[in-house]
Amino acid sequence: MSNKKNSSGAEQIFWDLSDLYSAPNDPKLKDDKAVLLSKTQAFRDAYKEKVADLDANALSKALTDYETILDIIQKMGSYAYLNWSTNTEDAELGKLLQEMNEFSSELSQQLVFFDLEWLKVEDDQAQKLYDSEELAHYRHYLKSARKYKDHMLSEEQEQLLSAKSVTGKSAWVRYFDETLGAARFDFRGESVTEQEVLSKLSDPDRAIRKDAAESLTKGLKELSRSLTFIFNTLLFDKSTNDKFRNYPDWITSRNLSNEIKDETVEALVQAVKDGYPIVQRYYKLKARLLKLDKLYDYDRYAPIMKSEAQIQWSEAKQMVLDAYTEFDEGMGQITAKFFDNNWIDAAIRPGKRGGAYSASTAVSVHPYVFMNYDGKIRDVQTLAHELGHGVHQYLSAQQGVLQSGTPLTTAETASVFGEMLVFQRLKKNLNSDKEKLALLIGKIDDTIATVFRQISMNRFEDAIHKARREQGELTKEGFGKLWMQTQTELYGDSVQLTENYASWWSYIPHFLHSPGYVYAYAFGELLVLALYEKYLEKPEGFSENYIEILKAGGSDLPENIVSKAGVDINSPDFWSKGIKSIELMIDEAEQLAKALNFEVN
């Protein structure tokens, strides 16, 4: 590992979006817009008020035509979003994004009749259709679409909601992203981005971590008026939509889209909450390892080895490629495409939004990975995580537009499994107990963040949605109080949450981009722990079954897809087994620490 501190080697890692379009002024964008208008009108002429009368062959043809339209829409929308997310301060890119959002809404209004008419087909007739050989490929899509039968509105109402979403949710989410993308935080006299200041919270130097926490808090407080208003507006927007659609709870629509039973989610949440004491036990261990009397919120992600070296991009690339290839050669070859063809944007730069994601774009193209690489071991894991998504999206594209996407729960399976492969490979190649402990502590940090912290954030989401609906608009102090309550439940007396921490809810995008998303991270992590255990028990043939799971995309229920690897997510003790696996990691860390007499600094 390199000791360079000023360069991560990722400064020139920019993606090449030309497989979508060559530039924002590419004439193909205008041409595709015209093609879409023509195809959408032809689709309406061919199928409007006729869906109920279609036989299996005709419905199959309609679905193929529908997918062709959706693929072009996704291609155009993806290009606009990907371009904008690397520079949210560029007004022209923002203009293109808005144009695509408005155009997509316009087309959605013209196409919504198709889903509505399918829902009106009598149950007996629908059963005959999706049981037919001609519609075998689309069977799951057709069946799962009907679960929204009680929640769809009239065509006119659906068109109105689609039109208003452009100036509603999507506009406010864009404003949130641009606000934080443009934000600068004063760190020791230097103006830094959100991503840069967040990265300093995992610095080995406690003084740097503390100053970073102060910097982040000061910046968020300056933005608090806008951020609080954005949160309030989007919470009420969701409440209004849920009321119109007859959803009994704020989380109902998310569970439906995730194709998971309410009882399964409740069991997951409860199992994780029951495991909070092991988190508190872990942080008390970490305080001893760091030789701190009290662990503060800004200490949670501190490495226990102060000499943690910066990992160059080339090294991170090789780590991920080696881990993926060792598991499955074909998976390694797909991963290599992302590097070789410039499908990754990793450079940190002003205006770029924070975080990381893998965009599936369109099934006729390929996914792209977005991240902010700063040379930390956590960044290597993020790279592995997002490339897991990328491989999943690449493989599932064969299912077509309507069934390539997966519910958020199983969408996190490949990403977290990718992290696990890299972690296990790194661990295997270490000879020193000190280095093994440092790596293990980093993995436990990430696992706690993925499982326990995400569920604590789910509890915060639950609280703010209910409070907004029952009490009306919330103040920043009201949000902060609910945030501190749900976080204190997690950390207990093992971490001292400072007054500053009360504002840290306001920069987390998932609450706004995808309400209810966060429990999917815990679901994915615990599912991967079960899958990895199966892999260790019987590695022969496992990778083949695993690849089949990824290829399946959203073509079946999640419980059926993962059952191919011998996992039953509906088992009453499934989640508690996953929690036990995390506890065993903490046991191992305690044993290594004891053997080293805590001499790890």
Q: What domains, with CATH codes, occur in the chain?
A: 17-167 (1.20.140.70), 183-307+450-513 (1.10.1370.20), 313-434+520-567 (1.10.1370.40)
pLDDT at residue number 3: 40
Taking only the tens place, the pLDDT of each residue in 326-358 is 999 999 999 999 999 999 999 999 999 888 999
Q: For residue 496, report the phi and psi dihedrals to the nearest 5 degrees.
A: -85, 110
Q: Is the pLDDT of residue 599 over 60?
A: no
**Cα separation of 536 and 436, whole Å?**
20
Give the three-class secondary structure for 436: helix
Rounded distance, CA 97 to CA 80, Å? Answer: 5
Q: Average model confidence (pLDDT) for the chain?
A: 93
Letter for the amino acid at 6? Answer: N
> Which band of pLDDT confidence, cut at 50, 70 and 90, is reported for residue 325?
very high
- pLDDT at position 244, please? 95
- pLDDT band at 427, cuts 50/70/90? confident
**Closest of 410, 528, 505, 406 to residue 458, by C-alpha:** 505
Which pLDDT value is given to residue 44?
96
pLDDT digits (tens, 9 = 90+) for 25-46: 999 999 999 999 999 999 999 9
Instruction: Quote the Cα angle for 372-514-103, to 5°.
Output: 90
Angle between helices 433-448 and 574-595 (to 10 degrees): 150
Q: Using 50, 70 and 90 to split pLDDT, how confident is the model at 564?
A: confident
Distance CA 267, CA 275 (A): 12
CB atoms within 10 A of CB 170: 16
Task: Work out the average pLDDT over 285-296.
Answer: 95
pLDDT higher than 70, residue 1: no
H or E segment to which residue 588 belongs:
helix 574-595
Q: Cα(448)–Cα(422) distance, rounded to whole angstroms? A: 17
- Which pLDDT band holds residue 307 (cuts at 50, 70, 90)? low
Q: Is the pLDDT of residue 4 over 60?
A: no
- pLDDT (average), residues 235-248: 96
| Model pLDDT for residues 190-229, shown as the tens digit of each residue | 999 998 999 999 999 999 999 999 999 999 999 999 999 9
pTM of the complete model: 0.86
DSSP summary character for residue 297: G
pLDDT bin (cut points 50, 70, 90) of residue 2 is: very low
